Amino acid sequence: MRDWKNNLQKTRYVMDVLLFVIFLLVSAPQATGVPGHEWLSLFFIVPFVIHLLLHWDWIKQSAKRLFSSISLREKFNTVWNYLLYVIMLLATVSGFLVSVALLPSLSITVDIQDFWSKVHHDFSTLIMPMLGVHLALHWHWIINVSKRMFGKGVTS
């Protein structure tokens, strides 16, 4: 059982690193160009869904535990994670609604509305600092798994 848990942790770690790298690329449309930004955003959905599935047990338990007697830090973490998910979802959906490259290349026409452009811009701007807080809240886990995967040379 311990080997399975360690493998699950390693799988989560590798997928989270992949998710983070793709996120960084998606977050830099100036570097990738708009078509690259939109296509990477589409591909970003796959590791994002895998991230949610790999953490599904936590998601189910956290919803139940939110209203129990858990620490304020755990409650904040739970609310923050759910809020980050909603913001990420709104940024992604609104991004598709303002697509100028991806959807037209798939012969899907979209009437781009200023409202969705603003939603996409505002929520996309919020994601980076929110992700920073998310990583800070999980820093202990990141360091521990990094040490197990790469040796004891990683410092906190």
pLDDT tens for residues 86-128? 999 999 999 999 999 999 999 999 899 999 999 999 999 999 9
Greater model confidence, 6 or 44: 44
**pLDDT > 90 in the chain, percent:** 60
Report whether pLDDT(135) > 70. yes
Report whether pLDDT(156) > 80. no
**pLDDT > 70 in the chain, percent:** 93
Interatomic CA distance for residues 145 and 123, integer angstroms: 30
